[in-house]
Structure 1
Amino acid sequence: MNAPRVYGRWERPRSAGFFGLTWGVSLLGLGLIVAVMASFMLIQSIQISATLLAGAAVIFVPLAITRDGRTGWELLLLRTQFAMARARGELTYRSGRFSRMPGLAKLPGLLADSRLTEYETAGGKRFAMLHIRRTDHYTVVLRVLARGKELVDQHQIDTWVEGYGQFLAAQSRGGEVVAITAVLENTVETRLKHTLEVARLVRDTAPAFAKQVMGEAAADSGGVGVRIDARIAITFRAIGKGRIRRDQPEQAREIGQRLQSVLSQLAHAGLPATPMQAWEVLALVRSRYDLASQRDVETAGRAITESQSWDSVGPIAHADRWDHYVHDAARSITWEMDGAPRGAVMETVLEELLRPRPDVPRKRVAIVYRLHSAADATSLVDSDFRDAIAAEQTERGIASASARIRVANTSAAREEQARGAGLTRFGVLVTVTDHLDGDLPGIEASVKGMAAASRLSVRRCYGYQAAAFAASLGIGLVLPEHTSISKGVSA
């Protein structure tokens, strides 16, 4: 019997400095000490030197102390930016018939400058393409038929996992893919799709008994009232140079040529996929911002394009709060991954988090993969290995044990990258949506319990709930590309 296959060896990049600090913070601390000492030697004033020392401490200490993965300066800037946005009224959004732009319900925030178009590949497949003009990113969303693991051999599951890793590595080689977002979403089952499909299949000339059986089958479908939707969004940088980069049809042609190989790679990973069309993306976004529209959207189907456009699928009103997000008649909370599962894990590590639950009927888990190009990956794995060795040589005690593990992990990463594996940064966003009178404290406890069972450390997205909600939709919004805080003060 073969031993179960395990996965892991992920490491957060960190430059080694003094006393567990990063190299940049260590150099800053040395520079401040030298500056204070030089000023004392030149001025010979204890009072002035003490003032300079206090100022140096104010600069250095918030960078040296971190909380929830953020430095003190980062937390202060986040609070300040949120307070300034609230004072300017940027956290409240109103649209609709009596707004300043009557008849429009544009998407708010970072999605305000996005555009949705539809094109066709050379093979005749139509696909929707979203363009976020601020970052010049183009996104294609693929609907995936998620397969369960029932009656599937472990060898086949291992092959699928390996195929998915090869899919990620293949997308990173050219350096044109910014991110890949895999979304597994639990939504309330309205049974409308089943009813409409049965109505389409049943003919008027069918026997009465056959009609009765089909009607009962449609009425009994849906299980516990929660269904699973899966999709993968692939976000590209603008491809080409000069005029081609600014020509949207040219970008669609280039992306369309790559779609067939992407679909083949996903099929090899056990994920048969098909590109989502414009009407499907419209229905997706409309029903996530306005829960009450879900039945209307599913009833309309393709006809939704007759009454809705990309400028009308946003919420009528929203309020971005510090710890939650209110949109129309719903409230959402988004958590982000604080730390990857520790140690080696099996492929079922996220099963508890992804599993549908009746007490959390609207849950969305988005795994964001930010891919390094093949050229960047080589230098990065070498740099991580050197930093790990430096940390092992400077740290003592318990810290040295973790430093030795980090050296082994980064060494393995170098070997795997040399054999053709890709280098990927990844994160997880978990969004739960419920009505305004929903039991969100109870839901929060359930989410934290599911995350703990999956050995995943999560924390609430304080100060950017609306942006995190939009990013977890899986329509091409990559949060690190929109950061407003300098990397120099971040952890």
Structure 2
Amino acid sequence: MTTRTYGRWERPRSAGFFGLTWGVSMVGLALIVIVMLTFLITRSLRATAVVIGCAAVVFMPLAITIGGRSGWEIAVLRAQFALARARGEDLYRAGRFSAIPGIAKLPGLLANSRLIEYETAGGKRFALVHVRRTDHYTVILRILPRGKELVDQSQIDSWVAGYGDFLANQSRGGEVVAVTSVLETVVETHLRQQREVARLVRAESPEWARTVMHQAAADIGGVGVRVEARIAITYTAFGQGRSRRDPAEQAREIGRRLQGVLSQLARAGLPATPLEAWEVIGLVRSRYDLASQRDVETAGREITTTQSWDTAGPLAHEDRWDHYLHDGARSITWEMDLAPRGAVYETGLEELLLPRADVPRKRIAIVYRLHSAAEASDLVDSDYRDALAAEQTERGIASAAASIRVDNTRATRMEQVRGAGLARFGALITATAPLDADLPGIEAAVKDMAASSRLGIRRCYAAQAASFAGSLGIGLILPEHTSVSKRVTA
């Protein structure tokens, strides 16, 4: 039996001259025309030289990229970060002695979000996170992924294909903005196992049986780390007019679709359950404040008696250039820079996803930004035309890479015609540790795991707090909140 391989992903790029993008090439041509007109009008070499110098200052930062970002993009990010620090926007203080006592709202891009809970027609309760700035509604599903031990390869291939069908089905209507898959490792407290054992064990049972059950609950967890998985589905607002602004109408429509979503995930080997409001509050609270994890798990459903969405945030945070400080912890978030090159197996990210004792708190969020069927048809045709243009203009090694891109985009067109979906995807990797932990060692371990998975990553400079919130998988889609114009990006 042969094992399937996966790949053929390509970064969208418009073809221009000398390997540049089409937009940068057009800017270069416009600057050349300006220089020529300056000389024809003034007949002055000095004036022409000044214009050439100004044109070089404008063009070179666009043409030169560092770490996947253009020179102008880096300059704008640094200026924005310096301005935010000058205004004090990198600091956040909440709690009893803050400007609004007793409130610890989520900071930054999640400040205007709210949590609401509804019930489906079948009686299943689910929470919705509403990000009002973008008018997005997100339902979060707890996943119980099945391991690959003692599973035939054909079954694994079927599960992978089922997940692809799930993504394709979500993209067809155009209402789903993104699907975020999160796999997270957290420190094992054994409280859940002990609570479950206490529920199962009866007082009249034999003493040795009770001892075995309690000992088994204490030993579960292996290296002291447990794995949690969830999928967040982010919808744009449905309907028109008043119904579009009514959260109850949005929740009713999402609840109607929820059973179909759960069925599709089950066929992909991912039995799912919607998170309720108390679970989402506990999830967010324990990620910002590591010390609260045991209290959150002990409280369970009763957490809503003392906590709400307005108190789920950190009491203090500081957004630094290369890391994020929050409630006695320090986090670093990386973003995917390059997808694995060439073909990969379904185990491509296994080294990155495996729990490790030296990196107990690690979160990998894969964000799929889905295109509707109408958009997908236009995009695959555009990518194919750009790939053909690049193949005709490039030479040497670049020409070989362009030929591979032509083959990949041609295959994508054929698959899209046969009913496959089209999605942009990226990944965020967050490592969190107490302030006294060996963070350089954790950073090196994460980079090694990413390298073993053939995944290129780079640190999210000047956006650590926002990236941390985006990797939580609660509906914050970072590309919808960009602060740098696309005209100066790479």
Does the pair score TM above 0.5?
A: yes
* Larger deviation, residues 205-214 vs 376-385: 205-214
Q: Which runs of 5+ in 2 are unaligned?
A: none
1:24 aligned to 2:23?
yes
Give the match for residue 328 of structure 2: 329
Deviations 1:466-489 (A, max 9, x none): 000000000000000000100000
Cα offset for 1:403? 0.5
Letter in 1 for 2:29: L
* Match of residue 238 from structure 1: 237
Amino acid at match of 1:354: L
Q: For residue 223 of structure 1, report the CA deviation from its aligned partner.
A: 1.4
Aligned pair 1:281/2:280, yes or no? yes
Q: Which amino acid aligns with 2:433?
A: D
Which residue in the other structure is 1:196 paired with? 195
Q: Give, as a single letter, the amino acid of the residue that structure 2 aligns with 1:43.
A: T
2:453 aligned with 1:454: yes
1:75 aligned residue? 74
Structure 1 residue 44: Cα displacement: 1.2
Determine if the alignment matches structure 1 residue 209 to structure 2 residue 212: no
Q: Which residue matches 1:432?
A: 431
- Does residue 224 in structure 1 map to residue 226 in structure 2? no
Which segment drifts farther, 306-315 or 195-204? Answer: 195-204
The aligned residue for residue 4 of structure 1 is 3
Partner in structure 1 of residue 476 of structure 2: 477
Quick one: distance in 2 between partners of 1:354 and 1:127? Answer: 27
Aligned to 2:34: 35
User: Residues of 2 paired with 1:187 and 1:72: CA distance?
Assistant: 38
Return the alpha-carbon distance in structure 2 between the equivalents of residues 153 and 202 of structure 1: 35
Instruction: Please give the TM-score of this superposition, normalised by the length of structure 2.
Output: 0.99
- Partner in structure 1 of residue 96 of structure 2: 97
Instruction: Provide the rounded CA distance (Å) in 2 between the counterparts of 1:148 and 1:276.
Output: 22
Q: Is residue 2:389 matched to residue 1:390? A: yes
Amino acid at match of 1:5: R
Q: Is 1:411 aligned to 2:416, yes or no?
A: no
Q: How far, CA to CA, are the matches of 1:61 and 1:219 in structure 2? A: 61
Instruction: Name the SS for the 2:420 alignment partner.
Output: coil
Whether 2:297 is the aligned partner of 1:298: answer yes
For the residues of structure 1 that align with 2:391 and 2:219, how far apart are their CA atoms? Answer: 61
Shift in Å, 1:210 = 2.6
* Aligned AA (2:335): E
Opposite residue 429 of structure 2, the aligned amino acid is: V
Distance 1:132 1:413 in 2: 33
Partner of 1:46: 45
Aligned to 1:423: 422
Residue 160 (structure 1) aligns with: 159
* AA in 1 matched with 2:154: H
What amino acid maps onto 1:269 in structure 2? A
Superposed displacement of residue 40, structure 1: 1.1
Distance 2:423 2:361 in 1: 29
Match in the other structure for 1:371 = 370
C-alpha distance after superposition, 1:406-442 (max 9, x if no partner): 0000000000000000010000100000000111111
Deviation at 1:47?
Answer: 1.4
C-alpha RMSD over aligned residues: 0.7
Alpha-carbon distance in structure 2 between the residues aligned to 1:217 and 1:339:
42
How far 1:4 sits from its partner (Å)? Answer: 1.4
CA distance in 2, matches of 1:208, 1:345: 51
Give the CA deviation at 1:97: 0.3
Deviation of 1:59 (Å): 0.6
Q: Is 1:84 matched with 2:74?
A: no
Aligned length: 490
Give 1:3 deviation, angstroms.
Answer: 2.0
The equivalent of 1:320 in structure 2 is 319
Partner of 2:133: 134
**Distance in 2 of aligned mates of 1:473 and 1:181:** 9
Query: Could you tell me how far apart the structure 2 residues matched to 1:222 and 1:341 are?
Result: 31
* Aligned: 1:339 with 2:338: yes
How many Å apart are 1:74 and its aligned residue?
Answer: 0.1
Q: Secondary structure at the match of 1:303?
A: helix
Distance in 1 separating the partners of 2:49 and 2:211: 88
> How far did residue 216 of structure 1 move?
1.7
2:488 match: 489
Report how far residue 267 of structure 1 moved: 0.3
Please give the alpha-carbon distance, in whole angstroms, between the structure 1 residues aligned to 2:290 and 2:371. 37
Query: What is the TM-score with the length of structure 1 in the denominator?
Result: 0.99
The SS at the match of 1:182 is strand
Superposed displacement of residue 374, structure 1: 0.5
